Amino acid sequence: MKPYIEWTKEELVAEKARLEQEFAEVKAKGLNLNISRGKPAAAQLDLTEGMLTVLSKNEDTFAEDGTDCRNYGVLTGIPEARKLIGDICEVPAENVIVYGNASLTIMFDTVARSFLKGVAGCTPWNKLDKVKFLCPVPGYDRHFGVTEYFGVEMINVPMTPEGPDMDMVEKLVAEDDAIKGIWCVPKYSNPQGYTYSDETVRRFANLKPAAKDFRIFWDNAYIIHHLYDDRQDHLLNIIEECEKAGNPDMVYEFVSTSKVSYPGAGIAALISSEANLKEAQEYMNFQIIGHDKLNQLRHVKFFQNLDGVMNQMKKHAEILRPKFEAILQVMDQELSAWHRFLDKTERWILHLLRCDGGMCKEDRCKSKRGRPYHDRRGRNVSISQRSAGFQHPYCTVLPDTGRAGNRRSGIRAECQTGQHG
């Protein structure tokens, strides 16, 4: 089927009528579909039913060290829960603090603490004229929502199949002490599914930021979320790499069991250096007397160990895999022409982001009409010498004429429809 952009008006009108009829037929079936993003299906939630009954009497509520989990205390989490999270993240339990059910809460709290009290003895961020964060794009909007809430200036960094553009990251953090952090989803990243390469992880660990209080916010949300047994990405351990590089305090790692057990009743954790955890604990002393230890204990008793967690993830994959495959099949069959179009557009966006501010070091990259451009993967993208710019249904990319606009390496983007998306 040819792409819609090549259809005549008459063909489009007829297609619209056909699709409306098809939609009416589906609607008449009375299906109850929830398309909220990120919510596991009921079948996935049912996998954890046994957790609801592992604590059935008072005698079940004591931790291995004798702690009565019904009572106050144990700010950093019960030892066996710290060990379980440590095994998942391949770090010692001493590097783990177990919180409540949401890692996003820990991230928000960490940014808030930095604004209120500062990081590593540095000036609290709320007393600074400017605070900036690097934001790999595309990325997770809830991350960006946290920094937006605090009025942080967010700087886009293009994503590549190997991770964020590290040339740009290294240059920016080394030159600007107002840059205090970077958001990262390092494994099966949202939304593209990229996993950071070994080189990228090592370059993160060896960053030389101008700001002493610069921190990597390493949201390892999908650390064990493999879809196939024989196709699993490997991610270097950022905690170990930072220690090797002499930068043990530069990273905060966040994980949770939201998509392992229950999204609304999992356990979440902060993994970091001794100094960073001490700083977090000092703040927590005034914030809470202890998180839900019964829930921590439920998780340990239900999963038992890392093998139990991984068996659970295999069951999740068995439910999710056919759904993913069905989506990919439909996209390949019905939207292949749009794939080609969007891929071409993506190459433009990657190049324009990379070359902004003179970041591009490639000799072949010339900010002139009619000369070759390249994207992060080294592919050439040329602007036609015969036309004003690269045409697509929404925008025209034109040579910069000096007028106000979105300047990217001598190029200005003008929207033909009056709306940019």
Produce one character per residue of 7-29: b if its CB has 16 or more CB atoms within 10 Å, e if not. eeeeeeeeeeeeeeeeeeeeeee
pLDDT (mean) for 179-205: 96
Q: Which pLDDT score, from 0 to 100, does residue 342 have?
A: 59
Question: What is the pTM (predicted TM-score) of this model?
Answer: 0.77
pLDDT (mean) for 59-85: 97
Band the pLDDT of 34: cuts 50, 70, 90. confident
pLDDT at 256 over 90: yes
pLDDT at 23 over 70: yes
Band the pLDDT of 201: cuts 50, 70, 90. very high
Q: Cα–Cα distance between 77 and 96 in angstroms, integer?
A: 9
pLDDT digits 0-9 by tens, 260-273: 999 989 999 999 99
Cα 6 to Cα 16, 48, 135, 386: the distances in Å are 15, 49, 36, 21
Band the pLDDT of 275: cuts 50, 70, 90. very high
Percent of the chain past pLDDT 90, that is, above it, reads 72
Lowest mean pLDDT among 23-37, 155-169, 329-343, 377-391: 377-391
Structure tokens at 247: 């930068």
Q: Which pLDDT score, from 0 to 100, does residue 6 have?
A: 87
Chain mean pLDDT for the chain: 84
pLDDT at 389 over 50: no
Q: Which amino acid, 291?
A: H
pLDDT (mean) for 190-207: 95
pLDDT (mean) for 234-241: 98
Contacts by residues 341-346 (CB-CB < 8 Å, ≥ 24 positions apart): 341/3, 341/5, 341/392, 344/381, 345/392, 346/375
Q: Cα–Cα distance between 229 and 214 in angstroms, integer?
A: 37
Domain parsing of the chain, residue ranges: 1-33, 51-313, 337-415
Q: Which pLDDT score, from 0 to 100, does residue 347 have?
A: 55
Q: Which pLDDT score, from 0 to 100, does residue 176 have?
A: 97
Tell which wins on pLDDT, 332 or 247: 247
CATH topology of domain 51-313: Aspartate Aminotransferase; domain 2 (3.40.640)
pLDDT (mean) for 201-227: 97
Q: Cα–Cα distance between 8 and 411 in angstroms, integer?
A: 32
Band the pLDDT of 359: cuts 50, 70, 90. very low
Q: Which pLDDT score, from 0 to 100, does residue 60 have?
A: 96
Band the pLDDT of 191: cuts 50, 70, 90. confident
How many other C-beta atoms can be found within 10 angstroms of the C-beta atom of residue 141?
Answer: 10
Q: Which pLDDT score, from 0 to 100, does residue 118 have?
A: 97
Q: Which pLDDT score, from 0 to 100, does residue 3 have?
A: 77
pLDDT at 279 over 50: yes
Q: Cα–Cα distance between 210 and 208 in angstroms, integer?
A: 7
Q: Cα–Cα distance between 115 and 118 in angstroms, integer?
A: 6
Tell which wins on pLDDT, 338 or 330: 330
Cα 85 to Cα 308, 309, 318: the distances in Å are 12, 10, 23
Band the pLDDT of 38: cuts 50, 70, 90. confident
pLDDT (mean) for 251-258: 97
Percent of the chain past pLDDT 70, that is, above it, reads 79
Q: Which pLDDT score, from 0 to 100, does residue 329 have?
A: 87
pLDDT at 111 over 80: yes
Band the pLDDT of 341: cuts 50, 70, 90. low
pLDDT (mean) for 158-164: 96
pLDDT (mean) for 157-174: 97
Q: Cα–Cα distance between 235 and 224 in angstroms, integer?
A: 10
Q: Which pLDDT score, from 0 to 100, does residue 33 have?
A: 79
Q: Cα–Cα distance between 370 and 381 in angstroms, integer?
A: 10
